[in-house]
Structure 1
Amino acid sequence: MPHYTSYDETELAYRVLPARDGSAGPPLICLAGGPGRDAAYLGDLGGLNARHTLVIPDSRGTGDSPPAADASGYAFPGLAEDLEALRRHLGLERFALLAHDAAAATAQAYAAAHPERLSLLILVCPGARLQGELPEDAWEIFESRSGEPWWQDAYAAVRLLPDTTDPAEVRRLLLRAAPMAYGRWDEPQRAHAESEGEQLGPVARAGFWQGVDEAGRRAVLARLREVPCPVLVITGDRDAVTGMRAGELVAESFPDGRVRPLRGAGHYPWVDEPDLFRPAVEDFLAHHPAHP
């Protein structure tokens, strides 16, 4: 895998998925969430590399990237500065950015600090922790599916997870709870879910939200009002992890934010509905002059 040198001289890894149609257009940088999850779970984002080159970094302590020297390196503002180092390494004046799940916080921190560097921003199934709200619709979505055969076991696992510390047991509980994250529980979803336990870096996960106080959160939100680039927020109407309302709150934080809900999709819409997810992203990239 190629590497780049970040602000503190740490060598961090990334992978490149070239556009299969041979397009030589600008790359789309894609950030994995978790937080602290190996970016391998993004795969090719439902075939998004058919027309676009994807650059997918491994954040500190995940994949082929080394652990951070101290806890601040795992916090999302520090990860945003890793992204800025990657931009410089790639020689991009401006670029389009896609971020999934918790990485939406990294992307928002980057947009607040470096608004002039983004041409487009795509946030997939974000939470609204930066917005200071925890909407309840995710739980409502989960409860609405109580008739499905996996629901009772997933419910029990969700209740046990907050008080479980043994890593092996956490991995087992995550797999039991996994169906709530998908629009349906078929073979592609099962295969995708089975990798989660081994892909999570517990130290990177624990450090992601550390070191950001209320004043810092409000400062990021205030700067988002000045971000000029168009922002697309994709949500899934079966996402029982972050729900749909959080995406609406995130989109409202930007002057040019819009929401694209996908029917039948959960927290990983490129797994559930790749033929809805891929065109949604491609249309946004193609129909806006900010992205050549």
Structure 2
Amino acid sequence: MTAASDLRFFPSADGDLAYRDAGAGDLVVLLHSGFADHRVFDAQIPALATGYRVIAPDVRGHGASANATGPFRWADDLAALLRHLDAGPAVLVGVSMGGAIATDTVLEYPELVRAVVACGAATSEFEYTDPWVRQVQAEQARALGEGDVEGWLEAFLRFVPGEHRSPDDIDPAIGRRLREMALGTLSKHTPDEENRHVPLTGTWARVPKIDVPVLTVNGGLDAPDLIAEAERLARTVPDGRSVTVEGAAHYPNMEKPEVFNEILAAFLRTL
């Protein structure tokens, strides 16, 4: 677990945003998945920090970062942090929601981005169509509406093994870590709280203009429509490629950290 003393804070226009800052060298920014925080990358931060400067923020409303009191966009928050640090251009590495943030940011602020790695993600304009995922999402919505935190967590954690495995098939420590992070984020919010995030629109029309290298990394056991959308991203940009981590679902960086780290290291060496 990250000690509180290891976190730094950026005083944004709408509250303090937390981040880890480790290592030195070319900048790599790690963007975590939804309902979690920067600790999703506990296996990546020390590995990368031996050769790079690693920034791992807590997205607004997550972890130790402030909640929104007004409308906000993910890309604007990240751009403000990078400018505050006088750092970049950066390689943006995101898992799930973080991957969408990475892609949104290169669309909105191309001058701040050197390359993108989107893991289990494409742009933020995505809706699941897979029946199993839609069922799990419906269970989450029901539990949240009823104030059933345990029911919500149970549904949320089903994405760790994915549709075709059970929790017994994965390292139980992964579920425990994600549960702890999700509980921390949930505790910051109320069920009737307004969602102040302003989504980006028209992203796919702009994707062909992304002029930096893009790598998509998919767990082979992740939702089929999400894999397809990430591979679409890799095909649509001028310099894109896609890699599959077999035997992993939505969190390949946590399930197969050595494999994920080597994929990332190999990509970084090409830049």
Q: Compute the TM-score of the two structures, normalised by the length of structure 1.
A: 0.74
Q: Does 1:29 align with 2:33?
A: no
Distance 1:260 1:13 in 2: 31
The count of residues paired between Structure 1 and Structure 2 equals 256
Query: How far did 1:121 drift?
Result: 0.8
Distance 1:83 1:204 in 2: 25
Query: How far did 1:51 drift?
Result: 3.4
| 1:171-190 matches, cutoff 5 A | 171-175=153-157, 178-180=160-162, 185=167, 189-190=171-172
Q: Deviations over 1:71-108 (max 9, x none)?
A: x23xxxx1211111111122224111111101222222
**Residues 101 and 123 of structure 2 are in contact (CA less than 8 Å); yes or no, is this contact kept in structure 1?**
no
From 173, 196, 207, the counterpart of 1:224: 207
Query: How far did 1:266 drift?
Result: 1.7
Distance 2:168 2:36 in 1: 22
Identity within the alignment, %? 25
Q: Does 1:265 align with 2:264?
A: no
Residue number in structure 2 paired with 1:149: none
Distance 1:242 1:286 in 2: 30
**Residues 182 and 268 of structure 1 are in contact (CA less than 8 Å); yes or no, is this contact kept in structure 2?**
no
Q: Does 1:2 align with 2:8?
A: yes
Query: How far did 1:286 drift?
Result: 0.6
Distance 1:256 1:284 in 2: 12
Distance 1:129 1:63 in 2: 21
Distance 2:91 2:113 in 1: 6
Residue number in structure 1 paired with 2:140: 161
Q: Extract unaligned runs of 5+ from structure 1.
A: 19-23, 143-154
Q: Aligned letter for 2:15?
A: T
Residue number in structure 1 paired with 2:53: 53
Q: Does 1:276 align with 2:267?
A: no
Q: Does 1:108 align with 2:91?
A: no
Q: Deviations over 1:114-168 (max 9, x none)?
A: 11221111111115652x56464x95xx9xxxxxxxxxxxx99777434222223
Distance 1:247 1:208 in 2: 26
Distance 2:122 2:42 in 1: 21
Q: Extract unaligned runs of 5+ from structure 2.
A: 1-6
Distance 1:11 1:182, change over 3 A: farther
**Residues 207 and 233 of structure 2 are in contact (CA less than 8 Å); yes or no, is this contact kept in structure 1?**
no
Distance 1:177 1:170 in 2: 12
Q: Deviations over 1:196-226 (max 9, x none)?
A: 33423344998779543xxx521x3223222
Residue number in structure 2 paired with 1:147: none
Query: How far did 1:17 drift?
Result: 3.1
Residue number in structure 2 paired with 1:63: 63
Residue number in structure 1 paired with 2:80: 85
From 173, 196, 199, the counterpart of 2:181: 199
| 1:231-242 matches, cutoff 5 A | 231-240=214-223
- Which has the higher relative contact order, 1 or 2, with Cα contacts under 8 A spaced 6 or more apart? 1
**Residues 88 and 112 of structure 2 are in contact (CA less than 8 Å); yes or no, is this contact kept in structure 1?**
yes
User: The residue matched to 2:25 in structure 1 has which SS?
Assistant: coil
User: The residue matched to 2:201 in structure 1 has which SS?
Assistant: helix
Query: How far did 1:53 drift?
Result: 3.2
